[in-house]
Structure 1
Amino acid sequence: MQYFSTSALKQFEMFKIAAVGLLIISSNILSSGYKFPDGFMFGASTAAYQIEGGWNEDGKGVNIWDHLTHLRPELIRDHSNGDVACDSYHKYKEDVALAKDLNLQFYRFSISWSRIAPSGEVHKLNPEGIAYYNRLIDELIANDIVPLVTMYHWDIPQYLQDLGGWVNPIMSDYFKEYARVLFSYYGDRVKWWITFNEPMETSKAYSFNGYAPYLHLNNTGYYLAGHTQLIAHSKVYHLYNDEFKDKQQGKISLSLNGVFFIPKDEQSQDDINTAERANQFERGWFSHPVYKGDYPPVMRQWVDKKSKKEGRPWSTLPTFTKKEIELLKGTADFYALNHYSTRMVTHGSDPNPNYNPDAEYATFVDKSWPTSVASWLIVVPEGLKRLLVWIKNEYDNPPVIITENGFADNGTLNDFERISYVKSHLNATLQAIFEDKCNVFGYTVWSLLDNFEWMDGYAYHFGLVHVDFNNPLTPRTLKASYQFFKNVVATHRLDDSSFTTQSPEL
């Protein structure tokens, strides 16, 4: 297995010089004396379609990304797909070895629904697909790595999408039965479950041609898809509690993402109110029903008002029944948070379809904030600290695990910008823990490997490990950030000892 390329080793003298500069630059952001608490968990995250490949092997069915990338390759920035990706379907042992060498406490991966049940219907299971995840889970446990499993990471089987996908309420029952299969086959070893990864992003795929299935149903599709996912999550949570938890003793949540919004003018009450409204539309949409029951009042008020103004006979935001509210409340054993960036807001409208027009806010960035090759990923570590405090105050300080946080670049091995990003966000996490008493118990970097980045194909790289997608053998090569993160995990600190200028070795 190739871990560090010859060319990278030749560059390492330059790397050491640059690293010294990086440490000097970053020293002013460190929280001196802080150390991650005993028991704090470090992990890395991946997703099935983005790394597995083997798209039609061993009985796997077609999912919405197989369908979209094959039928409309021009929609992907580089016309690529995940047919092979990192080839982790065949190279999972290499990936586990990389996680082991990082000393990770856990590895977050997702299960491909269409690999388990090709059409999504559980009366037609695929034994080969079930066996693959058994092998992966067993390999992780054999290497003392806890599996943290995501049931759904954006790759619904195409057959179920043809039935309407997440805007069809019956999908909540299909998902419940799929979850039953996962609990039955893997629950004896998997103790950490996430039902949905970023349900807001799943919903965007039904709103403005953002992701597969690439539909333009505006906010009607947006809210319907979110509503069905919330109902599905509650059904799975109660299924586990009623039938599996006594014996398996696991925990369940859903990973929620979103930009954190701060007032453009911190002294303006209108901007303060707008930022809060934006955060409720962005994050409260899924958090509020799970932690408090029902949608956030401000969301209900503003969407209902907009629907009435448009002359609609009913609101585009669906209504939960009293029973559904009761079933949803309390359906998270921990708060799973994906976070990458922050924006300033003021009252107005924003042309970016990623931002909900019903909430009436316009976004801005400070020119001093560092950028990345991904236009949406602006570096604002202070935003993560403020977000963790917001979650603490809003939901009575729940146990939080950061399930994604990472930086996009062009794939360089000497990825100092990624080191700076991860270091600054880990520092913000430490500040939230020690200065604000936020109950954060884990951090997951996105991602272990460079991978297929959805509509951007392979244009952006997020991995601690470089993957050569032009080589059919998809060799892995360690980046500088791999060694940095390895030392953070080993020391539980962010002082200079968390970064070494020695060549990475295994």
Structure 2
Amino acid sequence: MSIFYKFTNLIAFATLVSNSTCQEDTFLYDTFPPGFQWGFSSSSYQIEGAWKEDGKGVNIWDTFVHRIPSPIPDKSNADIGCDSYHKYDHDVSLLKYIGAGVYRFSLSWTRILPTGRIDQINPAGIRYYNNLINLLLANGIEPMITLHHWDLPQPLQDLGGWPNENVIQHYSNFANLAFHTFGDRVKKWITFSEPNVMCLNGYITRTYAPGHKNVNEAINCARNVIISHARVYRIYDRVFRPLQGGKVGMSLSSYWLQPKDPQNPEHRKSAEFWMHIEWGLFAFPIVFGSYNDETKQLLGKLRKFKLTSAPVEFTAEESVEIKVLNIPNYTNYESKDFLKCPHVLQILGSYDFWGLNHYSTYLVEPTKVTTSILHGDFIGLFLGAKISFDPTWPKSAIPHTPSVPWGFRKMLNWINQGYGSPEIYIMENGYPDSPNTGLEDVARVKFHRDYINEMLKAVKIDGVQVTMYTAWGLLDCFEWSYGYTVNFGVVYVNHSHPERPRTPKLSATCLQQIFSDNGFPHENFSPLKIN
């Protein structure tokens, strides 16, 4: 089905959605379609440890967490993490015990290419991931690989990092090697996990590696990631897909942005504008080959304040590479004549599915841009918006991540309506709790039960094509800028013990039952019946 055909039904579908999303608090007892996949997600830096072992090179997070003074609240790091480099067999046993059918993990770029360049390949790194993949398959668990989850090799950062377009070729080489080495067994690939978070927090807020504060770098980071994604997608499509038959997509982080006053048109306009930046900055070019109007307006505002000189448009060649999958016998990208021949535009977009990382919801209202905003409030500067939270929303261990399950359904419907009903994989969804909570993590049980049920409504009532759910995360490991002060895991890890023993929590039992039942077939859910 062409994307053009899909969009002809959007108005009718929007009416259906508006009529179906009113029952936010009604629990739905039903199951997901046959073949729905359940599992967990992780990232290499957070869980593997072994940061200097077996020939691994240094990445930007290794550098970032060892700064003095430390940028991490508890001064911790993931030098050992959950020690999954040595205990991956324990992790696979836990995945099988809980009933996971898929496990998404990321490759440590410097564990495979210590300098980030293709001229030095580390056999120990290849061996580690081969062992993990083979063990997963032996236990009936599908391996899914994220090529890049924020841990850029430090030597490439020394060249300028993601804002430097030279990194595109190094990333393409790395991806090509990964497809060649693991693609005979791995059929689902994520090019980047949350590049919107990586570029914002790494190059503006300073809270993530490499810890810069430069708007121009952030915009160029986003641009080069989009081009990198498209180039790698083309490599897979032309070279590897005919033999391996897999799928490639990107995973974006997005909160649902709810108008603070839904009756106020200015609040609705502000929330919608922000949605088109938060999700659309990356998704729109990957689908349509250019920035959306909101992004162009944002870039214009940044230019007005002399904060960026980044291009507002992609070149004609870049746009074609990003957007057009199959142009038979046509290589003259400089000409736009091919656009007059709709029959050659067989498939649009450089994606096979969309990955969504979703945790919470914001309330949005417009605000005025003032000079003081230039000194720190980048949300106000970028979007002319103020965010807040309803005080009645259940709080978590992270102040800006309350539990708002109905926002998940709204988020899924928004993507479905605006992007042609794509296949969606939930790549991250989880609850940040305090380490003091212990094994009886009742709030996390309620979070997963309620969020998954809203996802069920989106699938069964609204017709959204969600086909996979991977919870974040399996283990209590290092949590980026929070260290070990919060955790997301359904399995407790004792980091004070040298063996890092693992103990399942109540939430592991919760997900075990949901996975086994493929949803909520009846009301007899113990430990799920929590008010």
SS in 2 for 1:33: coil
Pick closer, same or farther for the CA change 1:354–1:417 going to 2, 3 Å. Answer: farther
Q: In the aligned structure 2, how far is the partner of 1:160 from the partner of 1:438?
A: 39
Q: In the aligned structure 2, how far is the partner of 1:317 from the partner of 1:348?
A: 27
State yes or no: 1:290 paired with 2:309: no
State yes or no: 1:119 paired with 2:115: yes
Q: Percent identity?
A: 39
Pick closer, same or farther for the CA change 1:344–1:55 going to 2, 3 Å. Answer: same
Q: Deviations over 1:117-173 (max 9, x none)?
A: 001001101000011000000000000100110010110111111011001011111
Aligned residue in 2 for 1:393: 417
**How much does 1:49 deviate?**
0.5
SS in 2 for 1:196: strand
**How much does 1:32 deviate?**
3.4
Q: 1:335 aligns with which of 335, 354, 364?
A: 354
State yes or no: 1:454 paired with 2:451: no
State yes or no: 1:182 paired with 2:178: yes
Q: Deviations over 1:366-392 (max 9, x none)?
A: 111111011121111111110101001
Q: 1:172 aligns with which of 168, 171, 190?
A: 168
Moved more, 70-79 or 86-95: 70-79
Moved more, 351-360 or 296-305: 351-360
SS in 2 for 1:336: strand
- Which amino acid in structure 2 is aligned with residue 337 of structure 1? L
Aligned residue in 2 for 1:216: 213
Aligned residue in 2 for 1:150: 146
Q: In the aligned structure 2, how far is the partner of 1:179 from the partner of 1:273?
A: 39
Aligned residue in 2 for 1:226: 222
Aligned residue in 1 for 2:336: none
Q: In the aligned structure 1, how far is the partner of 2:161 from the partner of 2:479?
A: 22
**How much does 1:410 deviate?**
1.2
Q: In the aligned structure 1, how far is the partner of 2:72 from the partner of 2:378?
A: 18
SS in 2 for 1:203: helix
Q: Deviations over 1:37-66 (max 9, x none)?
A: 111111101110000000010000011111
Aligned residue in 2 for 1:323: 317
Q: Deviations over 1:438-493 (max 9, x none)?
A: 11111111001011011111111100100011111100011000011000001122
Moved more, 488-497 or 92-101: 488-497
Pick closer, same or farther for the CA change 1:64–1:328 going to 2, 3 Å. Answer: same
Pick closer, same or farther for the CA change 1:51–1:121 going to 2, 3 Å. Answer: same
Aligned residue in 2 for 1:362: 386
SS in 1 for 2:184: coil
State yes or no: 1:472 paired with 2:498: yes
State yes or no: 1:499 paired with 2:526: yes
Pick closer, same or farther for the CA change 1:305–1:66 going to 2, 3 Å. Answer: closer
Pick closer, same or farther for the CA change 1:434–1:94 going to 2, 3 Å. Answer: same
SS in 2 for 1:344: strand
- Which amino acid in structure 1 is aligned with residue 298 of structure 2? W
Q: In the aligned structure 2, how far is the partner of 1:472 from the partner of 1:430?
A: 41
**How much does 1:414 deviate?**
0.3
Counting only pairs closer than 5 Å after superposition, residues 15-164 of structure 1 correspond to structure 2 as 29=25, 31-72=27-68, 74-164=70-160
**How much does 1:349 deviate?**
5.7
Aligned residue in 1 for 2:204: 207
- Which amino acid in structure 1 is aligned with residue 526 of structure 2? F
- Which amino acid in structure 2 is aligned with residue 406 of structure 1? G
Pick closer, same or farther for the CA change 1:113–1:79 going to 2, 3 Å. Answer: same
Are the equivalent residues in 2 in contact too, given 1:256–1:283 (CA < 8 A)? yes
Pick closer, same or farther for the CA change 1:355–1:423 going to 2, 3 Å. Answer: farther
Aligned residue in 2 for 1:23: none
Q: In the aligned structure 1, how far is the partner of 2:209 from the partner of 2:68?
A: 10
Pick closer, same or farther for the CA change 1:237–1:465 going to 2, 3 Å. Answer: same
Q: 1:410 aligns with which of 434, 452, 455?
A: 434
Q: Which structure 2 segments of 5+ residues have no match?
A: 1-23, 324-348
State yes or no: 1:307 paired with 2:326: no
**How much does 1:435 deviate?**
1.9
- Which amino acid in structure 1 is aligned with residue 448 of structure 2? V
Q: In the aligned structure 2, how far is the partner of 1:284 from the partner of 1:447?
A: 26
**How much does 1:31 deviate?**
3.1
Pick closer, same or farther for the CA change 1:305–1:408 going to 2, 3 Å. Answer: closer
Are the equivalent residues in 2 in contact too, given 1:304–1:317 (CA < 8 A)? no
Q: Which structure 1 segments of 5+ residues have no match?
A: 1-27, 502-506
- Which amino acid in structure 1 is aligned with residue 208 of structure 2? Y
Aligned residue in 1 for 2:4: none
SS in 1 for 2:251: strand
TM-score normalised per structure 2: 0.86
Aligned residue in 2 for 1:423: 449
Are the equivalent residues in 2 in contact too, given 1:483–1:499 (CA < 8 A)? no
Are the equivalent residues in 2 in contact too, given 1:281–1:356 (CA < 8 A)? no
SS in 1 for 2:379: coil
Are the equivalent residues in 2 in contact too, given 1:349–1:362 (CA < 8 A)? no
**How much does 1:340 deviate?**
0.4
TM-score normalised per structure 1: 0.90
Are the equivalent residues in 2 in contact too, given 1:62–1:118 (CA < 8 A)? yes
